[in-house]
Amino acid sequence: MKKILILNGPNLNLLGKREPSIYGSQSFEDYFELLIKTFPEAELHYFQSNHEGELLDKIHDTGFSFDGLVINAGAFTHTSVALADALSAVPMPAVEVHISNIHKREAFRHHSFLSSRCHGMICGLGLQGYDLAIRYLLNLNAKPVTIT
């Protein structure tokens, strides 16, 4: 069973309350329960912090023992070289997720320090981006389907 960590950064503890026109009205805790039911073949873990150092510590603590990371670093995406370095320091594959389409927002949100350290990025698909990232990580290293 693959162990996958979902790591959310600052202000994402306010999902369901914060700017519902951008982020929706569902809390992440409720959505996480749905993810657990959707992926019984995975051991999903969730951690959220508004503090950069706690996010770094969690990557360090899990980066050598977990099979994948879904990371929405919130505003740290656009500012944190330290998080980018942490992703490079561990072998755990990561997928970057953003609930909103960061390319349709303010110009400072268009750059991500994390993207080059991740297998890919999903943005603008709401909470469904987490689902898609988990599916990718579960299928990572699977044998490709061949058509004969």
Q: Which of 23, 31, 46, 130 is catalytic?
A: 23
Q: Measuring CA to CA, which residue among 124, 76, 131 is closest to residue 100? A: 124
Active site (annotated) includes residue 45: no
Sheet of 2-8, strand order: 42-48, 2-8, 68-72, 94-98, 120-123
**Given this structure, which CATH class describes domain 2-139?**
alpha beta
- pLDDT class for 144, splitting at 50, 70, 90? low
Residue 5's beta-bridge partner residues? 45, 69
- Determine if residue 94 is left, alpha or beta; phi over 0 gives left, psi from -120 to 50 gives alpha, anything else beta: beta
99 is in an annotated binding site: yes
- pTM value? 0.90
Band the pLDDT of 143: cuts 50, 70, 90: low
Sign of dihedral through CA atoms 60, 61, 63, 64? Answer: positive
pLDDT number for residue 16: 82
Backbone angle region of 24, left / alpha / beta, with phi > 0 → left and psi within -120 to 50 → alpha: left
Q: Is residue 134 marked as binding?
A: no
60 is catalytic: no
Q: What is the residue extent of each domain of the chain?
A: 2-139
DSSP 42: E
> For residues 22 and 121, which has the higher predicted lDDT (pLDDT)?
121
For the stretch 93-113, pLDDT in tens is 999 999 988 776 667 665 788
